[in-house]
Structure 1
């Protein structure tokens, strides 16, 4: 069994798919690839030798939260539901201000020495559906960098960690990786056993594609599903465009992935040859998964950070079949009509996560709002009505550009753990808050 090493904990200072920039206090000098010392796994003849940096070829500038241009108070009064609906928002949930527990990936962790990851964002987490010693949480990252002294910065579109750590109070332990071990800390190759390899490849369907980024993950049994987006272009901070979204499927705990063509959702007309665009699919380019009562609920937003969340659901047996999805509409749940779907939260809420919380007896939603604060809402049903928003992390307390809060699937009690990305050091952190 691979040895476990505790990742280093750090302290810190304390819709329509119209693209609208997120507002935050991120510094303009943020650099997502700053490590120029070769790790043991790096392609360098002299590990430990500091080399000059090359220009970053795959800078995901759209992931950077946009500079703040409106008063922060503007986000404090987010309406939870559309004003014309009869449902009224409940009071905001009680929760303490969150704190950093650990850094999972980035310069303040040992991810570079152990996995060849000097920086990575997102950290989308879900239970793999295993039992006994095979039960794990899988953690999917977006654009990943390694040795920044090399011309390509050892860039990967996405990577994956695995962990069985149930005591998150002192951080999240990741097992050492081992080639061919589907329960090791990360998929690696025999040639580079300490270098997390890319797991979801490009389908090469679009004329222009800059990266392939996971946006949600879920398991049904021990089959893994990851919703991902094909990014066609990075725009200004907080903005990007997509070619399509799709669902990747794995039956070996994330070692290998396939993408059924039945899962592809083009973002517009003629973006994917041979796959027709259906109006409404542009609102499901990014997602959040939730399993409940035999369904997988899939929240959706458009590309970028300006979209309000829509909602669909599908039988657990048909997650990769787009034609099987039902959409939450003014007329109830309707199959095959994404253009009738309505927003379930009347506020921008991309890069979100949703989970059931036993302590509250409610569904919990996390996302960053228009001023890059992490906010929480609760509801009795997946479709809502969702409560007013409660701020649990402010961009003022965590400067550097924070985004993408993803709930840990095993934190169902009063201790809520979630990952959070920060642009300035291109890190993924483990956060904790206590629910009232």
Structure 2
């Protein structure tokens, strides 16, 4: 799958098809070996949904003793880049804002669009770490390396009025609060496969969502949770990570859920669709490598009746696993409950010289403010913190950054000077305020620990507890993400993870003491 097939693969997992450059460049730092003591779980058959469709199992298991489990081939791919001039119009085409509604049949196992989608089961992903003991095969391939050239053309976007000048701000002291007791994890279990073939939601036949990841969630209105997914692929997609070899590539899609009893799984009621049984792309992207490869949502939240999405405009994915380069981090809004979205021309953080601190942002409203937790592009950055009055979310000049134990105004280089919130690096943040325990919960992927971890604090600026493991890559070798369900509590933490080898989303349940 080229660069995309390694863009989010977990650092503890070395994919079967490796680029040599990924091995020799920062390999020791980004690809720590799975602990030698880690043992696969006993073999078990793949789960089957109520319609008899076989799904995916993200757990690291022993090979099928019958020998029927597909093993990952041992192949070292050596890509040879071939420069290719690509012309790109200055302005992007107008995004598709067509929306349709399709009622689901009463029978949950019936396809609502049999003329559009079939129910052919995909080939299951290869077993992690499998393969023959023989010497690996070396495959030399050519790989297009686009050189974008901007030319006049396209449709200029309608100009958006600039925010009013923000009043002069003064620094406000904000020292960290005293540390709280660290959370204790009693157990973590897989609840259900949320997306893809064999899931309880049957997203492939209902909405042409065969492969996808992330699963960011927020309460869009009372009794409803919005669920946003990243790069999404439909009919023609092959199991084994993201891939642009299918024409049905959408950078992101959105669904809704009203399930209260999460112990029974995360049930999706519907997706926003642009045609029958086809989830719509809600934030457009140019889909040109080295210009704008894709647009990935990073968090969502609601203030009143308006929905907001933070996103990153990805310039390109790196051959080094877990690294990528962004053009900017931005905010989009929707006034029709997420059916259509508009990217703000003003609320954006450009990645000048690759130094942007808020390229991958997570925003959470609380009280009079919306708090923004951000990291640079890639998985090796530190967490910065900012806040903005809830009625000025799209006014970048109204933001305050947490620098040296104070909220300082958004002028000069304060954005770049944001004090690291915790020691070490973090990526793919998810932040939730739990009213029951009066604690902030922070979940993220820790590449050094090879874990998805949890920290808690009484204030956004900390002091944050030491990390506690929720997911170990020895158990879920291709897992990444870790996005909290907004209806979680201080005792029951529900969160989604993605598995790279099956490239789908799963709901997890952590019982906390």
Checking the alignment, whether the CA contact within 8 Å between 2:312 and 2:329 is kept in structure 1 is yes
Residue 317 of structure 1: SS of its match in structure 2? helix
Of structures 1 and 2, the one with the larger relative CO (CA 8 A, separation 6+) is: 1
Matched, 1:398 2:398: no
Counterpart in the other structure of 1:298: 372
Task: Give 2:190's match in structure 1, choosing from 94, 100, 110.
Answer: 100
Matched, 1:147 2:235: yes
Counterpart in the other structure of 2:442: 365
Residue 213 of structure 2: SS of its match in structure 1? strand
Counterpart in the other structure of 2:322: 238
Which has the greater radius of gyration? Answer: 2
Residue 338 of structure 1: SS of its match in structure 2? coil
Q: In the superposition, relative to structure 1, how do residues 264 and 317 fare at CA in structure 2: closer, same or farther (>3 Å)?
A: same
Distance 2:450 2:122 in 1: 35
Task: Give 2:255's match in structure 1, choosing from 161, 170, 184.
Answer: 161
Q: In the superposition, relative to structure 1, how do residues 22 and 121 fare at CA in structure 2: closer, same or farther (>3 Å)?
A: closer
Checking the alignment, whether the CA contact within 8 Å between 2:232 and 2:250 is kept in structure 1 is yes
Residue 23 of structure 1: SS of its match in structure 2? coil
Matched, 1:221 2:313: no
Deviation at 1:247, TM superposition (A): 0.3
Query: Hey, which bits of structure 1, 4+ residues long, moved more than 4 A?
Result: 19-22, 39-44, 48-52, 85-91, 203-207
Counterpart in the other structure of 1:200: 283
Task: Give 1:121's match in structure 2, choosing from 197, 207, 213.
Answer: 213
Distance 1:293 1:86 in 2: 18
Distance 2:408 2:368 in 1: 17
Checking the alignment, whether the CA contact within 8 Å between 2:289 and 2:316 is kept in structure 1 is no
Deviations 1:264-298 (A, max 9, x none): 211015xxxxxxxxx96x01000112222210000
Q: In the superposition, relative to structure 1, how do residues 106 and 313 fare at CA in structure 2: closer, same or farther (>3 Å)?
A: same
Deviation at 1:114, TM superposition (A): 1.2
Residue 397 of structure 1: SS of its match in structure 2? coil
Spell out the pairing of 1:50-199 with structure 2 (5 A cutoff): 92-109=182-199, 110-128=202-220, 130-131=221-222, 135-148=223-236, 152-175=246-269, 185-189=270-274, 192-199=275-282
Distance 2:10 2:120 in 1: 38
Residue 112 of structure 1: SS of its match in structure 2? helix
Deviation at 1:153, TM superposition (A): 4.2
Residue 225 of structure 1: SS of its match in structure 2? strand
Deviations 1:148-185 (A, max 9, x none): 2695341100001111111101111212xxxxxxxxx1
Deviation at 1:380, TM superposition (A): 0.8
Spell out the pairing of 1:241-256 with structure 2 (5 A cutoff): 241-256=325-340
Distance 2:396 2:289 in 1: 19
Q: For the aligned residues, what is the CA RMSD? A: 3.2
Matched, 1:310 2:384: yes
Residue 397 of structure 2: SS of its match in structure 1? helix
TM-score by length of 2: 0.64
The total of aligned residue pairs comes to: 356
**Unmatched runs of 5 consecutive residues or more in structure 1:** 1-18, 59-84, 176-184, 270-278
Q: In the superposition, relative to structure 1, how do residues 43 and 146 fare at CA in structure 2: closer, same or farther (>3 Å)?
A: farther
Distance 1:325 1:205 in 2: 32
Deviation at 1:86, TM superposition (A): 9.3
Query: Could you tell which deviates more after superposition, 290-299 or 89-98?
Result: 89-98
Distance 2:178 2:258 in 1: 40
Q: In the superposition, relative to structure 1, how do residues 343 and 365 fare at CA in structure 2: closer, same or farther (>3 Å)?
A: same
Q: In the superposition, relative to structure 1, how do residues 29 and 429 fare at CA in structure 2: closer, same or farther (>3 Å)?
A: farther
Distance 1:431 1:379 in 2: 22
Residue 352 of structure 2: SS of its match in structure 1? coil
**Unmatched runs of 5 consecutive residues or more in structure 2:** 1-6, 19-54, 57-110, 124-140, 145-174, 239-244
Residue 201 of structure 1: SS of its match in structure 2? coil
Deviation at 1:42, TM superposition (A): 9.0
Deviation at 1:335, TM superposition (A): 1.3
Query: Could you tell which deviates more after superposition, 119-128 or 205-214?
Result: 205-214
TM-score by length of 1: 0.74
Distance 2:327 2:288 in 1: 9
Task: Give 2:11's match in structure 1, choosing from 16, 23, 26.
Answer: 23
Distance 2:237 2:350 in 1: 36
